[in-house]
Structure 1
Amino acid sequence: MRFGGTVACGGARRRRVGVGAVVALVVLGGGLSACKGGSDKDGGGGAAGSGARGGPALDAVDSLAVKGRAPKTGYERARFGSPWADIDSNGCGTRDDILKRDLDGVRFRGGDCTVVSGTLAPDPYTGKDVTFTRGRSRVDIDHVVALSDAWQKGAGGWSASKRIALANDPLNLLAVDAGPNRGKGDGDTATWLPANKSYRCAYVARQVAVKKKYGLWVTGAERDAMRRVLERCPQEKLPAGGGPTEAPGRFRAR
């Protein structure tokens, strides 16, 4: 089985470099000092898109700052830019870019941008196949680190460009079953994990990678929950960073 979202345990999929390239440009232009080169595949210390392997995700947990959750005051989705904007001017919104990356059997309407159907085979959060039909969708694009959670753990003080980068970074985006995604809300690792236990290590590793890349902090309870999950899979690697030369890839069940 394959799960959308990283190359740590599976082969690379189609290359979709547009959004990742723009995110990299925003990072370079917006002063994302926490990125340390833009690749979390090597724990943040390598060149973007280098493909170098780094230490296990478990080790990276201890590199995250631990603080209390800040107030949600002032949070609005609009603070992270227009939803699914075509930020790379390729004619495709971010949502379609991720659908094209994560779905199998993709069909388009007019060209190769507007995704009208496909299959999430399987959904990483449930392990079940989910059919996508535009207009009757059972598939959402999840921000693995929810934007509201990010707001309360550092993003509230960011520049607009850095928030837009996070909201559109392929590293932080997965096509998933709509039901579990909406049940997740803005939960972090301490309050929500996928029902599909075979994906939990990959899911938490991705949250660690996003928070490390953008310099977001974690609460003490969140850090402890991350450790508990990753201690069961201590060799789990940080996923690919979504840089301009990296294919997003997909996960294979253990």
Structure 2
Amino acid sequence: MIKTTVRAFAAVALALLPLTTLTAPAHAAETLSLHDGIEALPQAAEVRDGYERTKFKHWIDEDNDGCNTRAEVLLAEAITPPTVGPGCKLTGGTWRSYYDDTTVNGPSGLDIDHMVPLAEAWDSGASQWAAARRQAYANDLGADRSLVAVTARSNRSKADQDPAQWMPPAADARCTYLSDWVSTKLRWSLTVDRAERDTLRQLAAGCGNTDVEYERV
């Protein structure tokens, strides 16, 4: 009787194994040409109704190491590493703001830009997300270009505008910016409106072999 019970238990356990190994896998990274990436973006009208910046909680300390998302980006993108003091206070260091091709000494002159601004993300689909997904978006350290350290001046000039309304002032930055914008929208399954897609197509025509790399979340 005991042996029969053990065999029955083992059979049940084996039957359950595929269920435990078939939990949702991570999405594979994808690479597309910039042209194909633009065409892969779903098109929809933008809706700003109900947007509040506070609906995207940031900056958080997700790994509880004492450094919040802003500090993590600054540490990752520093050309010359800053000194990290108590409470993750950063001093010194140098950064390159690629939007305006400017070297910045010290962290105080930098903003951390959401490649696709929070308001634009809301307009493009994030209004339908749960609060936890909006928080994950606002603190996305899983992709190199979701968040980028740039001069406060360039970030505030950009504000919540899409490429139909604003592009980086540095000419050499523009193809990189388009690739970063499209990859972020693909990563988060965000939409584009007609004017945005038309502008992306037009600007991408001058970007040669630029690729878009992303991993959906």
TM-score, normalized by length of structure 1?
0.70
User: 1:234 is matched with which residue?
Assistant: 208
Query: Hey, what does 1:212 align to over in structure 2?
Result: 186
Q: CA deviation at 1:80?
A: 1.1
Equivalent residue for 1:132?
106
Q: Which whole-Å deviations, capped at 9, do the CAs of 1:97-132 have from their partners, x for residues lacking one?
A: 000011222222436943222111x31011121122
1:37 to 22, 27, 30: 27
Q: Which has the higher contact order (CA 8 A, sep 6+)?
A: 1
User: Where do 5+ consecutive residues of structure 1 fail to align?
Assistant: 1-28, 43-53, 244-254
- Is 1:187 the equivalent of 2:177? no
- The residue number in structure 1 matching 2:61 is 86
Query: 2:126 corresponds to which residue?
Result: 155
Instruction: Report the residue type matching 2:93 in the other structure.
Output: G
Change (3 A) 1:126 1:106: same
> In the superposition, relative to structure 1, how do residues 66 and 182 fare at CA in structure 2: closer, same or farther (>3 Å)?
same
Give distance in 2, aligned partners of 1:240 and 1:98. 18
Is the alpha carbon distance of 1:148 and 1:132 closer, same or farther for their aligned partners in structure 2, counting shifts above 3 Å? Answer: same
Q: Deviations over 1:152-210 (max 9, x none)?
A: 11000101121111111133100001101101110001001000111111111111111
User: Aligned ranges for residues 12-51 of structure 1 at < 5 Å?
Assistant: 37=27, 39=29, 42=30
Q: Spell out the pairing of 1:42-191 with structure 2 (5 A cutoff).
A: 42=30, 54-70=31-47, 72-81=48-57, 83-110=58-85, 113-120=88-95, 122-133=96-107, 137-170=108-141, 171=143, 172-191=146-165
Unpaired segments of 5 or more residues in structure 2?
1-22
| Aligned length in residues | 192
Task: List structure 1 runs of 4+ shifted beyond 4 angstroms.
Answer: 240-243
**Aligned alpha-carbon RMSD (Å):** 2.4
Change (3 A) 1:199 1:142: same
The 3-state SS of whatever aligns with 1:104 is coil
**Residues 155, 163 of structure 1: 8 Å contact kept:** yes
3-state SS in 2 of match to 1:78? helix
For residues 77 and 160 of structure 1, what CA distance do their matches in structure 2 show? 12
Q: TM-score, normalising length from structure 2?
A: 0.81
What is the CA–CA distance in structure 1 between the aligned matches of 2:215 and 2:105, rounded to whole Å? Answer: 27
Q: 1:145 to 1:176 in 2, by over 3 A?
A: same
Report if the CA contact (8 A) 1:142-1:174 is conserved.
yes
**Aligned counterpart, 1:21:** none
Question: What is the percentage of aligned positions where both structures have the same residue?
Answer: 33
| 8 Å contact kept, 1:80–1:160 | yes
Comparing both structures, which one devotes a greater share of its residues to helix?
2
Give SS of 2:106's match: strand
